[in-house]
Amino acid sequence: MKRTGYIIGPLIACMLTAGCAKEEDRYKEAREYMSSMEAIAVEEVVAYQREQTAKPSQTVTQEQTAQEPDTPEQITQEPIRPDTQPATQEAQTDDNPVTDEDPDIETTTEEIPTEPAPSAKTKEQVKEEAMAAWSAQVAEGNISLLSSEEHANLLSKLSGTVFVGDSVTQALVTEGMVPESMVFFKRGVLLKEITPYVEAAASVFPEKVVFFKGLGDVDHEDPVSYCEKYAALVNLLRERVPGVKIYICALLPPSNAVAAAREDLARSWMFDDQLRAWCPTADVTYIDLHWMVSQPLYLADGIHFNKIFYNLWLKYVTAVVTDWEDVLV
């Protein structure tokens, strides 16, 4: 038994050693296999990670583009909803595709023919047309009377103007042409007696003074002294009211019937001719009224005039003192 034990023991040990060797070889092989498999797995993992790394970045970019607020570029490129399209925008069809570049097409707009704007009239043209219309009214005996609105318009233009004279000036008040506050008069007053009324007119510091006198002075003056009296009155006004503008109306003749009966009054044209020549030398505006004298416009006395005459007188004198602006025909 001992010998058997001696033999079996080493044999078992040898077998165990061989088994261990084989087991070690198997372990080594297993480890090598595992290492190769691990290497393969690592490569696949790395490749997979690379693939996954690339994909998320693209996905995130697209998601960010969809979620981020619109930039100015996106806003301009975003299509306009039908309910918000401006009325002037035309619908785009396949026949009218949109391109990035505008085609070089020459467009023309059809112009609607229009009448040329009338050129502004000169003061001379305005004056000529008004005088022609007024003269026609006098010749036809169809002088238009002022409406209340037209009358108020004329008075507004005469602001700063006063009138000085005798009974023919007084008629401006009695016929309702101007307020009494604008008129300084006395019936039958002569030029040599009118100084107090001129001083009264100067006391309101008018911008413009209009003299309108009748035939009373013809029996008391000669044409030269007549103008000398006017010159003294003009100087007085300019001393009291520097810069005042002065106008003197023509001395009108009597009616034909009165002129035939009274030779002294018939010579009134001599006084008027002298007055017309003197006014420019004194820087005074002479207002010619002869064109508006018509026999039907005289009152029965043949010296004074009716209301129709004063309607036209007021329109004409207003045009003169306002330098022919907004003339009312």
In one-letter notation, the amino acid at residue 152 is A
Q: Terminal CA-to-CA distance of the chain, rounded, Å?
A: 168
User: In terms of Cα–Cα distance, which of 37, 12, 285 is closest to 161?
Assistant: 285
Residue 247: pLDDT above 90?
yes
Q: Which residues contact 13 (CB under 8 A, 6 or more apart)?
A: none
Q: Is 153 exposed, middle or buried (0-12, 13-18, 19+ CB in 10 A)?
A: middle
pLDDT higher than 70, residue 44: no
pLDDT of the residue at 33: 56
Which distant-in-sequence residues (6+ apart) come within 8 Å of 305 by Cβ? 168, 171, 297, 298, 299, 313
C-beta of residue 220 within 8 angstroms of C-beta of residue 190: yes
Task: State residue 67's pLDDT score.
Answer: 45
Sheet (strand 161-165) strand order: 183-185, 161-165, 208-212, 245-249, 285-287
pTM of the model: 0.65
Q: Over range 117-144, report the average pLDDT.
A: 90
DSSP 43-68: HHHHHHHHHHHHHHHHHHHHHHHHHS
Contacts of 256 (CB under 8 A, 6+ apart): 295
The per-residue pLDDT for 108 is 54
pLDDT recorded at residue 189? 97
Lowest mean pLDDT among 31-45, 78-92, 137-151, 161-175: 78-92
Q: Is the pLDDT of residue 75 over 80?
A: no
Lowest mean pLDDT among 87-91, 118-122, 301-305: 87-91
Q: What is the DSSP letter of 217?
A: G
Tokens of 213: 């006198």
pLDDT tens track for 234-246: 999 999 999 999 9
Supply the pLDDT for residue 326: 78
Return d(Cα 190, Cα 232) in angstroms, integer.
13
Buried b (16+ CB within 10 A) or exposed e, 11-50: eeeeeeeeeeeeeeeeeeeeeeeeeeeeeeeeeeeeeeee
Q: Write down the pLDDT at residue 48.
A: 56
